[in-house]
Structure 1
Amino acid sequence: MLPDLDTAPALLVAAPLLLTASCLLLAPLFGLNRPTTRTAIVAGVALVVGVYLHWRFTTTIPWDAPWVGLGFALTCLAIELFGLFDAAILFAALLKRTNRSAEADAGEARLAQRDPEDWPAVDLIIATYNEPIEVLEKTILGALALDWPNLNVWVADDGRRAWLRDFCQAKGAGYITRPDNLHAKAGNINHALKVTHAPFVAVFDADFVPQRPFLRRTMGFFDDTAIGIVQVPHSFYNHDPLQQNLALREALPDDQRFFFEAIMPGRDGWDAAFCCGSNSITRRTALEAIGGGLPAGSITEDMLLSLALLQKGYVTRYLNEPLAFGLAPESLEAFFVQRARWAQGATQILFLDTGPLGRGHAWQHRLFFLPTAWLSQCLMLMTSLIAPLVFLFFDVPPLVGVTAQSAIFFLVPMVFAQVGGIVLLGGGRYFPIAAQVLGTFQSFRLLPVIIKTLFKPHGHAFKVTPKGSDAAGGGYQRGIFFACTGLMIATLAGLAINAFPDTRIVMQGALVPMVAFWGLVNVVVLFLAAMLCLGRPALRAEERFPWHEPVAIWRRDARNATLARGIDISVSGIALAGDGVEVGEPVRVRLRGLGSIEGRVARARNGRIGIAFDGADSPARDRLIVQLFTRGMNATQLQVPLWRATRTMLARILTADMRLPTAPTGQAAARPDMGDDRLEKRTYVLPPEHRTPATMRLARAS
């Protein structure tokens, strides 16, 4: 029997919130990696949510209200229950998070006991359509540098580009093309599977560069014949739009860390991890069991592949180690191309025989592969923005019977338990404010896409995410910006109107303070989402890496070199601490262990030298790419405390630059002398370390 909250002491009213907060604060003391602790957290959250739902059903539904009020309240309740259903799936996944690194160690040790020539052969397929050379060269050279003796690297080019064929032949990679583009990426890979024969197939997108130990860390899993695919996370060497546009590059990890470092290890605990389209290896016999290739019924062929293999008894195993690095979307438009494809493809699988509603799936696989999170998140976030406005302007509440005391007793602990539980179980990868802002931002564009796909699941074209110079950088989401601004103004206007008795629309004045708090939270989220709409182009054409080695600079006709200390380096240039050179003069830079690269002094002042490399193809340039992108120099993952990331995000409101960007002029080209016409006339040199019998055989075959 609950007390009368309106007359209860303040401490009693706040007791559930205090108890929830205390439990969440004490939980880490018992070890968050212990199954019992994680189970206790999930059980505690379920208890708090259960109490909330009892109150919600028994107290807050206006059963005697007019049909408009009742319909609105029931709609809000249905959307809330939909969101709680997907939250339950998320908590279930986080409950069984795995760490497969010890198994990878054991597999690598078993390989070390065998003659490397007896290691199984691997065909590595790089799927490409229209990516530029500054993206592709890193992936191709990185693949060729993998520490694996029996490796065949193939570039499957659906763009049928002569310059790429010549580049592959020069570097030692095989080149595959086909006469049409049927079934897009899935069709491209399936065609490549028909002309390759190794028992294992690694697939990489055009922008993902494998680290040298990628195969040594993953191939040992295939000693278990039930493993059909091994997947590693998508990690990035650039900043995503949230980090770039809100100036959070060093204050917030990229938005995919929570998925790849918390959700996917959790799904792996239920044998429900899935192929993510790149950075994976597949057993060829598993592919043969489902017809010899990737299923083409969805534009997210990767997830569908894992589902099809599950029906045949093959599991996708997930290794949470950063063994490949690629490009996060480099512009807002590229971001939406990617997310719309994911949302469409995930929705499409509902309508396929191999999907979660098809035959032959275990109950947990049906549950975890339901793509409902895309729709529930969009609906929840849009409802949270619109419901206060409906109440403030039309006096139609989303729930009734609510007082400040009951909200503190029931509602606030529920929100606190869910958010706190995800933060704890997510291992520091979940940032609530950032998730709310990005979710709100993308919902404006994704909700129509998802609804359209539900009514028309098939016939949607596969759109490649623009990469490199094709991504153009920056951008301005005009529609979302004005939607956010309009909702902010409407919320503030509604609060102002209801702040005074003479103009108040809401009959229950006691509810205005609670709605005011809700509305002000929405205003903060909308303001940050509006800032996110103002795309800021990347300041650098190439990612820089620290470089502290001594560097020798040879000037024209000089008999001795000028020595300098490295600061940072990229594929397109190097920054040095030193002097003795003049701006504009041509130089030759010698890097320890890599060789010499021609360049020109771009700046020289205050003891700092900037040298732009000329971009000419050379063995030294290839070695530089391999050194920068395949040896873990970009493997440091950003770890930021929740309080610091939240504080920094909120501080952006005070330092916001809300000026509309000018029309994008395109991202500065990393290598402006390397357009298609130029490429067709170039001669490529194969670096000595790549001149192995396998690569030369591939070059001849292509």
Structure 2
Amino acid sequence: MEALIPLLLVAAAILAVPPAAPDKPFHSAAVVAGFSLLLGNYLWWRLTVTVLPAQGLSFGTGFVWAVFLGELWLWYETLQLSLILLRRTDRSPEADAHEARLEGRPPDDLPAVDVMIATYNEPLDVLEKTIAGALALDWPRARLNIHVLDDGRRDWLARYCHERGVNHITRDDNAHAKAGNLNAAFRRTEAPFILVLDADFVPQRRMLMRAIGFFDDPGIGIVQMPHHFFNDTPLQTNLDMRASLPDEQRFFFDTIQPGRDGWDCAFCCGSNGIIRREALDAIGGQMPTESITEDMLLTLAMLRKGYVTRYLGERLAVGLAPETLDAYFVQRGRWAQGGIQLLYTRRGPLGPGLNLIQRLFFNPSHWLSQSICQPLVMATPAIFLLTGAPPLLQASFEDVARYQLTTIVAAFGFVHFLAPRDFAPVASTVEGMLQSFRLLPLVLATLIRPRGHGFKVTPKGSDAGLSREDRFTIVVALSLILATGTGLFLNADFGTRIVGAGELLPVVAFWSVFNMLVLLIVMTMAVPRPVFRAAERFAMDEPCRIVTPAATVGAEIVNISMSGVLVAPDGDTSKLAPGGWAGLEVGGVGIVPARLRRRAVIDGRNGLGFEIHLPPGPKRDLLIQKLFSNLPAARPTNSVAISGLTMLARVFEAAPDTRRPAEAVARDEVTALPDWLAEMTGELTFAAREREIA
């Protein structure tokens, strides 16, 4: 019982100490100092008692040192995170002041802005949203130059850009991928500020008004804004936790980037960033090309010239999250490769011209710990149970409780103290493990041979394909579960026990069960659920009208997307049969061609589910802008509410996705509108319009 006293004291402190507050720096400093002392005491015990006694060259000695070094790396990550979180900023009050000042200026006094939309092979259903969003930016059109940088050199996109009144820029080759694409456009443009957008990120109307004012500070080279998404990620979908599980980038963009901003170490994230051309010229007038993560190298190059990246943590653009596991792994693999490549370039974090904090914060330790250390943590119980080689020498159950368990609980409490609403330990563990199995071979290959890896574009939109299970992750996770379970089974009987009579067995048994549950959730995440929507739906409470040759009926929009809408009619619509056509009069858009697909009941009221058939053109742009260009501020997450039990409950509910997207079926079937509806709306069908553009 005496060994539990430190653990009980730590638990009491976690419950008693209020969360960190910006106006109480000494309070935060005291907690940081207390945790640092506790961690230092633990690591001294680990090294001197459980590691150094290992002698000779043997598997057991190597295993002890491997576990210790992996754990040491994870503790380094924890301390780095705590340092970052100590200085979180909120730039919204500054943005309010800048916006009010800019709105008071005559339009001709506002600076010119080049909007650059980088694209390679994205389809029209992705690009049209970004282009329409750029056209809707609240900025004088005469001071706004919109450029679509097409590395795919597509004739149909050139025609589409001409119709939309935006510039279509190409080059002769695809050297240096996205960075080279941007560099080619930099040489052909001259506005003092450059807004860079990925092909799938739709800017909000107020984006420039909120962000441009920060450049009044001559020391700011980039203003970066977060990545938010209008669709669910594969992780949210596969666990059926769309509403309760935040997308896994929220912790980075809502918590880590504001902390980095406080140290002047925020960095450009590829999209949703505005670049000062003067700062770009100071580093040679182009993006660095030594790494496929050119955005972070851009920030480092500007830091060396005295320009910082400022972070404005507001939802000022929304994008398309990876829609399938394949796309998700392509994206994360590219980030991991690029991060590790930074170690091998003179302009990376190990090169000259940076201070100690900048070197610490820009090293790619996260990718190394996630891809190497986390799998080691998962495999350690199985190795111990099947070989008898202990991960800790000379450690009793009391020692583990007094030192290790106490420090682990303190670490969770410490991060919760710094970010009380944003840290979900179980969710972050599961999401990290899902990535780690795929990243491990990629990271090792990049460490050995950092160059020669091609730039892989994340598949998006209709090019993303159908979700399919990730068999590699399933096989690896299942193998670890079976190995760990076999070890537990063998050591449960004295006749087959491999582990000696040491006191570590109860601790490792608990560790094993936790690991197997995490791996079970990882396997569930690796199997997609059915997706029945052709496009993301937005909830809406807005009147509309249903127009048919027979009658016009008032209705209320319940939810709407680019491909469908659910309405609750106020009058009789019994004469409208499934498959029948109607014109939906939507506020701010006009009359939209729609075909009835189903009837539903909404809170006791009759509902009608329509399929929208709105081809590329001005009216479709208006619908895009209505849905994507003026979204409300993001709701704060409450990650504490995400329990491991909730995630575990989803294990038994998943099913594979074998359904063809509904939107594709609709477009295949419809080739012409009824004459009365075509005359009323002046529209062709989507399929006919796409053929016309092509």
Within the candidate set 121, 135, 140, 1:144 is matched to 135
Tell me which residue corresponds to 1:619: 618
Tell me which residue corresponds to 1:49: 39
1:56 to partner: Cα distance: 0.6
Tell me which residue corresponds to 1:367: 360
Structure 1: distance between partners of 2:588 and 2:688? 33
Structure 2: distance between partners of 1:675 and 1:448? 43
Q: 1:503 to 1:449 in 2, by over 3 A?
A: same
Q: Which letter maps to 2:110? A: W
User: Does 2:532 align with 1:539?
Assistant: yes
**Deviation digits for residues 461-489 of structure 1 (CA, Å, limit 9, x no counterpart):** 11110111111242111111011111111
Tell me which residue corresponds to 1:247: 240
Within the candidate set 73, 90, 94, 1:99 is matched to 90
Structure 2: distance between partners of 1:427 and 1:154? 42
Q: 1:81 to 1:675 in 2, by over 3 A?
A: farther
Tell me which residue corresponds to 1:392: 385
Structure 2: distance between partners of 1:265 and 1:667? 40
Q: 1:650 to 1:675 in 2, by over 3 A?
A: same
Note if contact 1:469-1:668 (Cα within 8 Å) is conserved in structure 2.
Answer: no
Deviates more, 1:533-542 or 1:512-521: 533-542
User: Does 2:24 align with 1:34?
Assistant: yes
Note if contact 1:393-1:505 (Cα within 8 Å) is conserved in structure 2.
Answer: yes
User: Does 2:62 align with 1:63?
Assistant: no
Structure 2: distance between partners of 1:670 and 1:196? 42
**Deviation digits for residues 194-217 of structure 1 (CA, Å, limit 9, x no counterpart):** 111100000000000111110011
Within the candidate set 587, 591, 594, 2:589 is matched to 594
Note if contact 1:107-1:221 (Cα within 8 Å) is conserved in structure 2.
Answer: yes
Tell me which residue corresponds to 1:583: 578
Tell me which residue corresponds to 2:346: 353
Tell me which residue corresponds to 1:209: 202
User: Does 2:479 align with 1:486?
Assistant: yes
Structure 2: distance between partners of 1:240 and 1:30? 31
User: Does 2:649 align with 1:651?
Assistant: yes
What is the aligned-residue RMSD (CA, Å)? 2.0
Q: 1:677 to 1:550 in 2, by over 3 A?
A: closer
Note if contact 1:209-1:325 (Cα within 8 Å) is conserved in structure 2.
Answer: yes
**Deviation digits for residues 13-62 of structure 1 (CA, Å, limit 9, x no counterpart):** 22221222222222326747632333233222212211211211121126
1:225-624 maps to which residues of 2 (within 5 A)? 225-555=218-548, 557-558=549-550, 560-578=551-569, 579-580=572-573, 581-606=576-601, 607-624=606-623
Q: Which letter maps to 2:115? A: L
**Deviation digits for residues 633-687 of structure 1 (CA, Å, limit 9, x no counterpart):** 5x4336235144444213224x344x6x37685685497369999635249xxxx
Q: Which letter maps to 1:568? A: N
Q: Which letter maps to 1:586? A: W
Q: 1:87 to 1:608 in 2, by over 3 A?
A: same
Structure 2: distance between partners of 1:154 and 1:238? 25
Deviates more, 1:302-311 or 1:577-586: 577-586
**Deviation digits for residues 546-590 of structure 1 (CA, Å, limit 9, x no counterpart):** 1211211111x33x4111121111111210112512211111110
Note if contact 2:467-2:657 (Cα within 8 Å) is conserved in structure 1.
Answer: no
Q: 1:227 to 1:477 in 2, by over 3 A?
A: same
TM-score (norm 2): 0.93
Tell me which residue corresponds to 1:642: 640
Tell me which residue corresponds to 1:158: 151
Gaps of 5+ in 1: 1-9, 684-702
Tell me which residue corresponds to 2:672: none
Q: Which letter maps to 1:86? A: E
Gaps of 5+ in 2: 669-684
Identity of aligned residues (%): 47
Highest relative contact order (Cα 8 Å, sep 6+), 1 or 2?
A: 1
User: Does 2:629 align with 1:630?
Assistant: yes
Structure 2: distance between partners of 1:264 and 1:297? 24
1:66 to partner: Cα distance: 5.0
Tell me which residue corresponds to 1:86: 77
3-state SS of paired residue (2:525): helix
1:625 to partner: Cα distance: 0.8
Q: 1:164 to 1:229 in 2, by over 3 A?
A: same
Q: Which letter maps to 2:624? A: I
Q: Which letter maps to 2:690? A: L
Q: Which letter maps to 1:23? A: A
Q: 1:665 to 1:586 in 2, by over 3 A?
A: closer
Structure 2: distance between partners of 1:261 and 1:66? 48
Structure 2: distance between partners of 1:667 and 1:605? 17
1:592 to partner: Cα distance: 2.2
Tell me which residue corresponds to 1:190: 183
Structure 2: distance between partners of 1:605 and 1:70? 66
User: Does 2:124 align with 1:113?
Assistant: no
Tell me which residue corresponds to 2:682: none
Deviates more, 1:32-41 or 1:42-51: 32-41
1:260 to partner: Cα distance: 0.5
Tell me which residue corresponds to 1:133: 124
3-state SS of paired residue (1:517): helix
Deviates more, 1:636-645 or 1:301-310: 636-645
3-state SS of paired residue (1:28): coil
1:659-674 maps to which residues of 2 (within 5 A)? 661=656, 668-669=663-664, 672=667
Structure 2: distance between partners of 1:33 and 1:423? 18
Q: 1:46 to 1:677 in 2, by over 3 A?
A: farther
Structure 2: distance between partners of 1:162 and 1:491? 56
Q: Which letter maps to 1:600? A: R
Structure 2: distance between partners of 1:175 and 1:327? 22
Tell me which residue corresponds to 2:679: none
Deviates more, 1:530-539 or 1:466-475: 530-539
Structure 2: distance between partners of 1:636 and 1:422? 23
Structure 2: distance between partners of 1:352 and 1:676? 48
Note if contact 1:271-1:316 (Cα within 8 Å) is conserved in structure 2.
Answer: yes
3-state SS of paired residue (2:149): strand
3-state SS of paired residue (1:530): helix
